[in-house]
Structure 1
């Protein structure tokens, strides 16, 4: 999905200045406790499904929407994992962002995992013992939390 319209509107006013944005992350587990990952189109790294909340959207609704938009998988939220402010970062186009991210443990319900938009170049289920080497440490931490007893 391209940059949300509300962010484009904000960028017209603030240019590349730092924007504080609401984000979501999902650890989606299937019945075998494999993790759903996407290989991002922008940097080719494997990551958990992530996204940005739209105006008037609740975090749990947002992550379910993002999972389906990016992977064609239908999931449900099991529980909250974290709510944290991530370090500032700079996008390829020079836009500076900082996300307050809400991470969830989610369960697969239906759908065949596949690339479902232009944000990813690959999608797959991975055993926890066979995660890609380029998976960010924060995502590995979320996976560990998702596998812990509630």
Structure 2
């Protein structure tokens, strides 16, 4: 994911300090029950599509925009699959971020899957039983997309009495 300008501007003031940011990811599932994945240019891993909303942008709009920017596939967001806080990450340049991720199930409505920006080296549709190696997090999200269940979220921690 390339760094949005508004975050670059913030970094001028705060340096590498931890930033709490919204994040959006998408499980794009077609009518043949294949999932759209990208191979990241920075580390070579296959992953779901995601990104950071621009200021004022609705999360579903971000999911749709990111899918098209990265893969040239047009889609519609159909439902929220999961809302969760990701562990903090430290990037090679020292920047620290922690994301509140909203994950959407999306349905493709047009376009031909291809590498459409510098963030990935490959794009592909994968049958659910022929997925490349993926993180547990991506597999969990894909699993949620294949079931008709309520949105997943971590339950609140119990308060001490």
Q: Partners in 2 of 1:77 and 1:131 — Cα distance?
A: 22
1:52 aligns with 2:46: no
- 1:127 maps to 127
With structure 1 as the length reference, what TM-score do the two structures score?
0.97
**What is the SS of the residue equivalent to 2:8?**
helix
- 2:106 maps to 106
With structure 2 as the length reference, what TM-score do the two structures score?
0.90
Q: Partners in 1 of 2:2 and 2:100 — Cα distance?
A: 20
- 2:153 maps to none
**1:1-150 matches, cutoff 5 A:** 2-133=2-133, 135-150=134-149
Q: Partners in 1 of 2:110 and 2:20 — Cα distance?
A: 34
**What is the SS of the residue equivalent to 1:125?**
strand
Superposed CA offset, 1:112-139 (max 9, x none): 0000000000000001111112x11111
Q: Partners in 1 of 2:136 and 2:24 — Cα distance?
A: 16
Runs of 5+ unmatched residues, structure 1: none
Runs of 5+ unmatched residues, structure 2: 150-161
The Cα RMSD (Å) is 0.9
- Extract structure 1 runs of 4+ deviating beyond 6 A: none
- 2:155 maps to none
